[in-house]
Chains A and B, each alone.
Chain A
Amino acid sequence: MILVGQPNVGKSALFASLTGVGAIVSNYPGTTVTITRGTWRLAPDRAVVVKDTPGAYSLLPITDEERIARDCLFEVPPGAVLHVVDAKNLERALPTTLELLDAALPVILVVNMVDEARAQGFQLDSVALARRLGCPVVETVAIDHVGLDRLREEVVRMLDHPPHIDREPGRLWIEEFGPAVTRLAEAARRENDLPPCMSTVLAAAAALRGGRNLAERAGFPEELLAEARREVQGRVGGIPAVAGVLILRARARVLLEGIYQPPRTRVEDLRHRLGLLLAHPVWGLPVLIGVLYLGFYLLVGTFAAGTVVGFLEEDVFGSLGADGTWEGGYVNPLLDSLVRSALPWDWLAALFVGTYGIFTLGITYALALVLPVVGAFFVVFSLVEDSGYFPRLALLCDRVFKQIGLNGRAVITMVLGLGCATMATVTTRTMETRRERFLATMLLVLAIPCSAQLGLISALLAARGFGLWASYVGCLVAIFFLVGWLAARILPGGNATFHMAMPPLRVPRIRNVLGKTWLRLKWYFLEVVPLFLWASVILWAFDLTGALGAIKSAMEPAMGLLGLPVSAAESFLVGFFRRDFGAAGLFQLATQEGGQVELGTRPLLVGSVTLTLFVPCVASFMMMCKERGWRAGLAIFTVVTAFAFAAGAGLNQLLLALGWE
């Protein structure tokens, strides 16, 4: 069973209600970038696999994610296709239903959010609509689990008695576009790359309507395609792409005549006006600064990364002093004595409780330093996301982002990158061109600190004064735009244009926010905690074999260039495993009371900036290679690492020249 539908119609909410697996429900397009699978228990002894597809506007995709959704429909014959639509927007969604029906798919039309629509004065006779369409129509309020029983009945009926679909796929287009469709379909390559269950007639209709991807995969001869398009153009009297939409809309309008009535007058409520305010170039700015300051600086930076981390580290876990004894805390001293009494060998005990121990380094970092920061970030992000603010932010930032070869959409990816770059790299799929995806990935791994790192560094720097923190943020913003601006001029290709749906603002729903935060945290921990543990094992092995000392001394000249003490090499080494891990090292280095090193403000700033510029972590490197390919991934890695050190050294010299000791 497959769920399809436009972004923001409650598709993911429906998926979550049916399967209990949460796809991340969002108030902006582009969060479901891969097919999510779940199981829906139809009866105690019966279950069906449900696939949730990325939001798509039509069967003619523009971005990769929409292509994924389309292809999914034609991979294996689905038992049922649930087309989820917003009851308030039926006129615009029904054309896609007609496309799906024309593709001879077993469609059930799910009219969602009927509560909102009724409240606003929409009238719909769904029984009559079902009769006219010839497919089941179910009204639901997915978020409140309303209408799911009827949906279950219809799905069971459809699976038990597959609808007798007697029409061949694409007949609508043969009727409208004429014989050119079948002629083109017959010219498809015998061994074509079309999705296995897609008929060549459908591919031909899509190609005529401008679907380049399917035209290539079907292998239609260029000349024949051009000729067929001219023929269709003459027949329908216009560009086939436009005519196709108008034809579908006209058919939809006829179908809805007399049974669907939008309200005469629209209420312009406060929400609407607030939505406009947030997208306003002048009034929107204070709101943006407010969100950043309150949410990210105060809550994530000061509270989570400062207060909570300080408490957990010093009072709960405890930190290892320079002389090898524990200072404060309960957990680590206790584990230390337990492990040492069970394992008489010092070198083996060190694997668990030493300077690089799995407990004392890996788990302590993961739970005491990173969890509070990442958790707080995800709460704030989910709140902002659920309110529908991000599309407004995208609109506000469009002009600025055009300067770095991206468009306003990319701002959502970048903000998500402030949480976790690995997660954000996946969402670059929502971008249209390879150029954009490359630029975004590079900026993401270079100049966007992830939440744990940003939180820790912010706490570290803010403790030495707001000015230092502001210099750090200033450096990163400058590098972000400078590199983006240069790269956009070096890479060939033009800028993509910006277009985006603006969902209405809403008061964030607590259940949504908590659900999203939980899913993100779960994802983060499954991906990240193992890496923390591996990092401590590897560092322990390096320490035991003496390799650590050798690498550290090899890095000495580099540290010298950066104006950092030799012991900072460790943070950088660890930084290769995870940037936030390295930041945590730097954090400890700088706050070690009575320790031998007390970092000055200049090395602290240089160290923080250089660490931030690094490739985020092993996970993000792997993801980068997976999404962009090995060559692009390695190229980005090399450039970013070299750039990080060069920029750090440059910054150090600049600060020295400015007389900053």
Chain B
Amino acid sequence: MLLASLSDVRLSELARGDTALVLGFVTSDEGAIRKLLALGLAPGDEIRVLATWPAFLLELGVNSYALDRELASHVLVARRPR
């Protein structure tokens, strides 16, 4: 549990090139959650960060998606060691 919590971060804190596992959503804004789900982002997904500025660019399976920092901050992920 300790190890897991050490590497738990928000998606918005990831750097370019990081890979991570989506753990869940941390927001009371259900609209934002539905938007993320509609993008195809759900707990259990493996993601890779391709860019962080001006917006986040994620690789998710065979697809790439862009989302802004605000949406990214709602996503809890576990960063994989480099």
Contact = CB atoms under 8 A, between A and B. Distances in A.
Given A498-B67, A499-B68, A500-B66, A62 B38 contact: yes
Contacts of A89: 61-63
Nearest to A395: B66
A631 to B, nearest CB: 27
Interface residues of B, number: 31
Contacts of A500: 65-67
Of residues B30, B51, B61, B62, which shows the largest number of chain A Cβ atoms within 10 Å of its Cβ?
A: B62
Contacts of B54: 281, 395-396, 398-399
Interface in A586-628: none
A408 B55 contact: yes
A246 B44 contact: yes
A58 B38 CA distance: 7
Contacts of B50: 276
A242 B35 contact: no
A398 B54 CA distance: 7
B70 interface: yes
Contact of A242 (B25, B53, B61, B68): B25
Contacts of A241: 30, 33-34, 37
B70 A497 contact: yes
Interface string B32-75: 11111111101110000011011101000111111110110000
B66 A499 contact: yes
Contacts of A210: 30, 33-34
Contacts of A538: none
Contacts of A262: 61-62
A426 interface: no
Q: Interface majority SS on B: helix, strand, loop or mixed?
A: mixed
Interface in A136-173: none
Contact of B57 (A58, A402, A502): A502
B34 A394 contact: no
A212 to B, nearest CB: 8
Given A242-B24, A245-B37, A276-B51, A395 B57 contact: yes
Given A88-B62, A280-B51, A501-B63, A239 B33 contact: yes
A485 B57 CA distance: 26
A60 B70 CA distance: 22
B65 A498 contact: no
A407 interface: yes
A279 B67 CA distance: 13
Contact of A498 (B34, B53, B55): B55
Interface in A37-64: 57-58, 60, 62
Interface of B: 24-25, 30, 32-40, 42-44, 50-51, 53-55, 57, 61-68, 70-71
Interface of A: 57-58, 60, 62, 88-89, 91-92, 210, 239, 241-242, 245-246, 249, 262, 266, 275-276, 279-281, 391, 394-396, 398-399, 402, 407-408, 497-502, 504
Given A499-B35, A499-B36, 16 more contacts: A58-B37, A210-B30, A241-B34, A241-B37, A242-B24, A242-B25, A395-B54, A395-B66, A497-B67, A497-B70, A498-B55, A498-B66, A498-B71, A499-B71, A502-B64, A504-B64
